[in-house]
Amino acid sequence: MAQNDAVFAGSIPQLYDHHMGALFFAPYAMNIAQRLSGIAAGEILETAAGTGIVTEAMATSLPPTVKITATDLNQPMLDHAATKPRLGRVRFQQANAQELPFGEASFGAVICQFGVMFFPDKVQAYKEAKRVLKPGGRLIFNVWDKLSANPLFDAVVAGLKRRYPAHASWFLERTPCGYHDEGRIRADLRAVGFADCVIERVTLSGQARDCRGPAIGLCQGSPMSAEILELDPGGLEAATEAAATAIAERFGAGPFEAPLRALVVETRKG
């Protein structure tokens, strides 16, 4: 993972939420919230909460007797999440998922939506999740499937590769779509004592209003913006246009439905 692949600062939180929240993340947020529907009390920890998309799904679907703590490494993302009116019940705290500032056996569930891919040491993050879980507590997380299984991501990368053919790899293929191997995920979980896990490939879809919104979100509302600017200072708008053109070629310029595929992983602390 490149140095800037986990940095979400500046204008990124707003662009990320506006252009990608409903399209990419809300469908899977509801999926995770539904998996928690049987919880009536206790505490849930969310790591890599970002702008609070799955946090909001949990806060609006779980009873008030369930306490929710949402953490993220990037304070600007949490600051943006905290402005959402339906998240008043949530405790926000900056934290590194690899060094959680909570005691052992503190939570009945640990949730992570599309964040595990960013952890430099995934095994250490799983170890920390296991440490803070109560016996029998659940770890639930999702990760994007490979790039070719997510054609909107694939189109953006294709557009950027066409504009910058000498660039070896892009953030989207390197990080968000870089941790999809079931065998590796199972091995990493077993390494810290999560013996049994269920991995389900979940296909959903998101609605895009046009080709430019996703291009702005992915090129300017993610760490890929820093990658583009390092490669081509002053070229962010041109790169965004290249991505939008590639999206339009595949889906059309107007409203379209984008197929999405992710792996949803569930395991328990013994």
The per-residue pLDDT for 9 is 46
- Determine the 3-state secondary structure of 100 from DSSP: coil
**Domains of the chain: residue spans and CATH:** 12-268 (3.40.50.150)
Q: Which residues of the chain have pLDDT under 70?
A: 1-11
Q: What pTM was computed for the model?
A: 0.94
Residues 6+ apart with CB under 8 A from 61: 33, 34, 36, 37
Tokens 């662009």 correspond to what residue? 15
Residue 125: partners with Cβ closer than 8 Å, 6 or more residues away: 47, 97, 98, 116, 119
Q: pLDDT at position 10, please? A: 56
Q: What is the mean pLDDT of the chain?
A: 95
- pLDDT tens digit string along 113-155? 999 999 999 999 999 999 999 999 999 999 999 999 999 999 9
pLDDT value, residue 5 = 47
Instruction: Map tokens 């934290």 to a residue.
Output: 95
Helices (H), the chain: 12-20, 26-35, 53-61, 75-82, 122-132, 151-163, 171-174, 182-190, 212-220, 224-231, 236-251
Helix axis angle for 122-132 and 182-190, nearest 10°, is 50
